[in-house]
Amino acid sequence: MARIVPKVFRNRKGCGKLWQAREEGLLYFWRAVNWKDRIFHWRLNRLPEPERERKACSLKRAESVGLLYLERDHAHYREVKELAKRLKEEFGVKRVGMMSFVEEDAKQTPNWLVKKLDSGYFCKSDLNWHGWPVKEFEAFVDTPFDILIDLELEPVLPLKFLVRSSVAGMKVGPDHEEWGSDLDVRMVHEPEEEDMEEVDVILQDPMEPWRDHTQRTLQFLNQTDFQ
C-alpha cells in the first residue's frame, strides 16, 4: 500500500539540526511501517497453502459462508450480524460464520463480542511479531465454508493471514494487486464519482462505500451461475 510521508518540518528556517533530526525520524518511522507490511507480505506468500477443494459456488447453492471483517463499533457489529441473518433468510444459507479482528488488547475487548464454534474474534494481543494471530482462529480457518468473504475494502493484514489459511472452497474479496493471490474471486471496488459536491463528501457516511461494495458482492455471487 502506498504511504504518503507528511510534509512536516519542511521549509523551517533557523531551526538547524533539530528540525532535520525530527524530519529524519519521521521518514524512518514511515519507512519502517512500510517495511513491516512488506515483511508480512513476504512471509505470508511463503506459507504453505492449505489443502482444500477449490469449488466455485453461488450463494443460491451455498450451504455455508464465512465472513471476515474488522471490528469497529457496536453499530457495525450489528450491521454484520444483519448481513449474516440476511444470508440465511434471503439466500437460504444454512450456516454463517463470522470472524473479526479487534485492534485492541484482550482486556479492552468489546463486551458485545462472543465466541462460538466457527465464529469469534481475535485481538491485537493475539498477534505475534509478524502480525498474524497465534490463537483464537483455528476453528474458523479449519471450517470448509462453501464461500469465504473478506468484507474489508482496504487490506487488514491479520485478516489476510486467515484468508491464506482458510480451507474454504471459494475465497472472495476486494481486488488488490498485492493481496489478491489467495482469492478465487476478486471484486473490483468502484469508488464514488469525483464530481461529488464538497458538502456531499463531508456529510457522506464513511461506511457507505463498504455497504455498496458488500451489496455488489452479494449480488454478483447470487446472480452468477458458476459452473
Res. 209: pLDDT tops 60: yes
Structural domains in the chain (count): 1
pLDDT of residue 203: 57
CATH code of the domain in which 77 resides? 3.40.50
More confident residue, 39 or 75: 75
User: Is residue 16 one of the residues assigned to a domain?
Assistant: no
pLDDT of residue 194: 54
User: Is residue 40 one of the residues assigned to a domain?
Assistant: no
- What does pTM read for this prediction? 0.78
User: Is residue 188 one of the residues assigned to a domain?
Assistant: yes
User: Is residue 202 one of the residues assigned to a domain?
Assistant: yes
User: Is residue 55 one of the residues assigned to a domain?
Assistant: no
User: Is residue 120 one of the residues assigned to a domain?
Assistant: yes
pLDDT of residue 7: 37
Host domain of residue 140: 64-223
* Grid cell digits, residue 199: 458538502
Q: Alpha-carbon distance 107 to 123, whole Å?
A: 9
| Rg (the chain; Cα; Å) | 20
Neighbouring CB atoms inside 10 A of 189's CB total 16
